[in-house]
Structure 1
Amino acid sequence: MPPEERTKLLIVDDLPENLRALHALIRHDDREIHEARSGEEALTLMLEHEFALAILDVQMPGMDGFELAELMRGTEKTRHIPIVFVSAAGRELNYAFKGYESGAVDFLYKPLDYYAVQSKVNVFVDLYQQRNEIRRQVTALEKSRQEQEILMRELHVTQKRLQNAVHMRDEFMSVVAHELRTPLNTLFLETQMRKMQLERGDIATFNTERLEKMVARDGRQIQSMIRLIDDMLDVSRMRSGKLSIRPTETELSGLLARIVGDLTAQAASAGTTITLNAYEHVHGLWDEFRIEQVIVNLLTNAIRYGQKKPIEINLVKTANSARFYVKDRGPGISPADQARIFEPFERGAGNSVSAGLGLGLYISRQLVEAHNGAIAVQSNPDNGTVFTVTLPLSPEHHQAPEA
């Protein structure tokens, strides 16, 4: 039997021959017997080991068995160890009574009865092993209970996630259908009108100016659907780890100026303006196409939710990074919504289905972090919103956004 599984017994006697005789009497393969020749030595052993039984000789020089028992009962680690006293003194001294008063469970007189000693020791060893087994079973049951509680909590969380996933899937399908239906309906109506005009032979309506307007409208609707599909593809690539970033030398102020110019007409149709404050050239190693996605997402959000109030975008350069701020003067974003708007398919509270898929900020965060940058939002209800994007000038630098 491995030593760690053996039951430990302690025998205490000042005479070596008595220790040898008692050791031979109670030894067994499932037991580990420790010997002590004084009370002090016995106490040291009891503080180091856990014993199933202590057999103490009463008459020892220095600390006798009764004194040792009293010390054992006064110490937390040793007070529960069963004590059996052994004495060669006559019964007329009434040591047994004193032994029981000291907390002994039995009292034996020398010469020892071989079978009586073995029987009594076997009982205490069996009791100790049963207690240990019960303790192990209780510990195992408690561990099992705790594991079941953890499992139930995990199952509950998983169930909620599944319910949320089903809800998000249904909402996502509804949003996608709506977002695709709008440009498709417009294209369908346009083609139906052209078909009707062609059938009537009304060729005059297809002059150069009208054709240019038709092509522009068609292009806008097609681009709207392409952006929608591209967003969904980007999310799929991000979740599968297949989104690639190709950094090249990029000048950020020029990129911002071009994007603001492209979005000026859209801002005007929404009743707002975009002001760019970028007073110096800022060069860095970035994927220009992906950074453009981030800027367009932030500006189109500002146009959509800015309540027709002016929008500002400011660019500053620090020692190791470029930082730009997109500020609107809309209704703001509540603290609760600020934590979730960067998650996929999430939109601010109160936004209608027409507010989009809720992918723009999620994609923006993923793209910025793929550049070792950071994106943050600061907002108070009814006081506008500022999105801050920090990009390292080179791949090895990473600067956290300011608080």
Structure 2
Amino acid sequence: MLSHITAKLLIVDDLPENLLALEALIQGDDREVHQAQSADEALSLLLEHDFALAILDVQMPGMNGFELAELIRGMEKTKHIPIVFVSAAGRELNYAFKGYESGAVDFLHKPLDTLAVKSKVSVFVDLFRQREVLDRQLEALERSRQEQALLLTQLQAAQTDLEHAVRMRDDFMSIVSHEVRTPLNGLILETQLRKMHLSRGNVAAFSPDKLQTMVERDERQINSLIRLVEDMLDVSRIRTGKLSIQPKAFPIDSLLSGLVERFAAQAEALETHIELTIKDTLCGDWDEFRIEQVLVNLLSNALRYGNRKTVHVRLHRDGEMACVQVQDQGIGISELNQKRIFQQFERVAAQHARTGLGLGLYISEQIVLAHGGRIEVDSEEGKGSTFSVYLPLPVLETQIDPVQATSA
């Protein structure tokens, strides 16, 4: 690794012949020698290159070697460069002291000892190359540390995601087991009750009125199971990108009217009602089954969490979109929970009504998005919620005149 590092050497002397002689003495394949005949020229080179060693002649016109050394020591970029002084002034002790005070690491006297110069320069070159190797190793270690820190962060995030997924799975299994058990327990109880009546020959228990009630109860339990299974299947379809959307033209006002009529009995049982307002009669190319699925979910939630107050359903045109709004006057949703309700298995109002898998709004949003629309919520705790479904209308959509439609 050391053989690939080139050491740059700076020699400063006002006499060209001294520079040539010194360069011939210290040059080598692993070295790059730069010459300067003045302090100003030397400073320019020092700012441009990273030197392993600077060899300065003490006696130069203008700025001498000692003054140049002090400048070198005063600059951040050059303060760590080893400095060797060269002087022909003899070996006076005060000269050497002044050199060391200026930041020199060694002092050479003219005439130069060839072997000593070569040996000392080789030592500084080797030190420079070893320091370069160490710096590169430290840089590599720092990069490795940063990469490991990034990897650790990613692993911690993955662990958090995994723990969240495990919690979701456990919650999901707990919810599923509870939600499936409820209708199953009802069916099992009904079956055991009928079996007991049959074993006792109690034919009166199967009068037409009682049979009708039994069938209706069974149907509710079976529909609950079907709905749970369909929700789980829809989540699977969404995750695999296989959610089926089969658009065809239909009037959404007719769909809303039918749904409100269908939910009338449920609303009456909760001692409330649904108020429908159709401002614009709109027809679009949507999957009627899927849009019904969305609206059924919103109406069910509005009745469930509406605090037995009137639920308002409105249809109007908003630019190039059809907008259906379902508004309740119930418990409302906090701002924090509004960001969660469209996630899987979220049941924000679970303390009020622990029913369902927490998939309804997630599936509803995915269905609306698949149609190129969007679903929004406007809510405040204790003041109810308004869910708005926006669906794109055909570019050349023709509105139906309700009066003309009636007279026809």
TM-score, length-scaled by structure 1:
0.85
Preserved contact between residue 342 and residue 365 of structure 2 (Cα < 8 Å): yes
Preserved contact between residue 73 and residue 80 of structure 2 (Cα < 8 Å): yes
202-211 or 356-365: which moved more?
202-211
Report the counterpart of residue 253 of structure 1 in structure 2.
Answer: 253
Report the counterpart of residue 385 of structure 2 in structure 1.
Answer: 385
Report the counterpart of residue 373 of structure 1 in structure 2.
Answer: 373
Structure 1 residue 210: deviation in Å?
A: 5.3
Preserved contact between residue 326 and residue 386 of structure 1 (Cα < 8 Å): yes
1:126-183: CA deviation from partner (whole Å, max 9, x where unpaired): 3333333333344444444444444444444444443433333232222212211222
Secondary structure at the counterpart of residue 246 of structure 2: coil
- Give the distance between the partners of 2:59 and 2:180, measured in 1 at CA: 99
1:209-232: CA deviation from partner (whole Å, max 9, x where unpaired): 655554443333222211111111
Structure 1 residue 363: deviation in Å?
A: 1.5
54-63 or 291-300: which moved more?
54-63
Report the counterpart of residue 134 of structure 1 in structure 2.
Answer: 134
Matched residues, number:
395
Matches within 5 A, 1:15-94: 15-91=15-91
181-190 or 149-158: which moved more?
149-158
- Give the distance between the partners of 2:193 and 2:22, measured in 1 at CA: 113
**Is 1:315 aligned to 2:315, yes or no?**
yes
Matches within 5 A, 1:273-352: 273-348=273-348, 350-351=350-351
Taking a change above 3 Å as real, the CA distance of residues 27 and 233 of structure 1, as seen in their structure-2 partners, is farther
Letter in 1 for 2:106: D
Preserved contact between residue 337 and residue 349 of structure 1 (Cα < 8 Å): no
Report the counterpart of residue 237 of structure 2 in structure 1.
Answer: 237
73-82 or 367-376: which moved more?
367-376
Report the counterpart of residue 401 of structure 2 in structure 1.
Answer: none
Secondary structure at the counterpart of residue 81 of structure 1: coil
Matches within 5 A, 1:219-230: 219-230=219-230
Preserved contact between residue 334 and residue 379 of structure 1 (Cα < 8 Å): yes
- Give the distance between the partners of 2:127 and 2:58, measured in 1 at CA: 24
Preserved contact between residue 247 and residue 287 of structure 2 (Cα < 8 Å): yes
- Give the distance between the partners of 1:115 and 1:245, measured in 2 at CA: 89
Secondary structure at the counterpart of residue 226 of structure 1: helix
Secondary structure at the counterpart of residue 263 of structure 2: helix
- Give the distance between the partners of 1:188 and 1:133, measured in 2 at CA: 79
Structure 1 residue 239: deviation in Å?
A: 1.9
Preserved contact between residue 279 and residue 314 of structure 2 (Cα < 8 Å): no
Report the counterpart of residue 177 of structure 1 in structure 2.
Answer: 177
1:77-101: CA deviation from partner (whole Å, max 9, x where unpaired): 1222221222344445964343323
- Give the distance between the partners of 1:391 and 1:2, measured in 2 at CA: 69
Matches within 5 A, 1:169-208: 169-197=169-197
Taking a change above 3 Å as real, the CA distance of residues 104 and 222 of structure 1, as seen in their structure-2 partners, is same
- Give the distance between the partners of 2:3 and 2:391, measured in 1 at CA: 62
Letter in 2 for 1:392: P
Taking a change above 3 Å as real, the CA distance of residues 344 and 57 of structure 1, as seen in their structure-2 partners, is same
1:60-111: CA deviation from partner (whole Å, max 9, x where unpaired): 4444433322322222212222212223444459643433232222222233
1:23-77: CA deviation from partner (whole Å, max 9, x where unpaired): 3332333333333343233222222222222222334444443332232222221
Secondary structure at the counterpart of residue 354 of structure 2: helix
Secondary structure at the counterpart of residue 183 of structure 2: helix
Taking a change above 3 Å as real, the CA distance of residues 135 and 188 of structure 1, as seen in their structure-2 partners, is same
Taking a change above 3 Å as real, the CA distance of residues 386 and 101 of structure 1, as seen in their structure-2 partners, is same
Secondary structure at the counterpart of residue 10 of structure 1: strand
- Give the distance between the partners of 1:29 and 1:61, measured in 2 at CA: 32
- Give the distance between the partners of 1:344 and 1:13, measured in 2 at CA: 79
Letter in 2 for 1:100: Y
Report the counterpart of residue 401 of structure 1 in structure 2.
Answer: none
Report the counterpart of residue 106 of structure 1 in structure 2.
Answer: 106
Letter in 2 for 1:375: I
Secondary structure at the counterpart of residue 355 of structure 1: coil
Letter in 2 for 1:36: A
Preserved contact between residue 305 and residue 330 of structure 2 (Cα < 8 Å): yes
Q: Which runs of 5+ in 1 are unaligned?
A: 396-403
Preserved contact between residue 5 and residue 129 of structure 2 (Cα < 8 Å): no
Letter in 1 for 2:240: S
Preserved contact between residue 2 and residue 129 of structure 2 (Cα < 8 Å): no
Letter in 1 for 2:165: A
Structure 1 residue 280: deviation in Å?
A: 0.6
Letter in 2 for 1:290: R
Structure 1 residue 353: deviation in Å?
A: 7.5
- Give the distance between the partners of 1:13 and 1:295, measured in 2 at CA: 92
Taking a change above 3 Å as real, the CA distance of residues 13 and 290 of structure 1, as seen in their structure-2 partners, is farther
What CA RMSD, in Å, does the superposition of the two structures yield over aligned residues? 3.1
Preserved contact between residue 281 and residue 316 of structure 2 (Cα < 8 Å): no
Secondary structure at the counterpart of residue 323 of structure 1: strand
Q: Which runs of 5+ in 2 are unaligned?
A: 396-408
Preserved contact between residue 179 and residue 354 of structure 1 (Cα < 8 Å): no
- Give the distance between the partners of 1:301 and 1:324, measured in 2 at CA: 15
| Percentage of identical aligned residues | 61
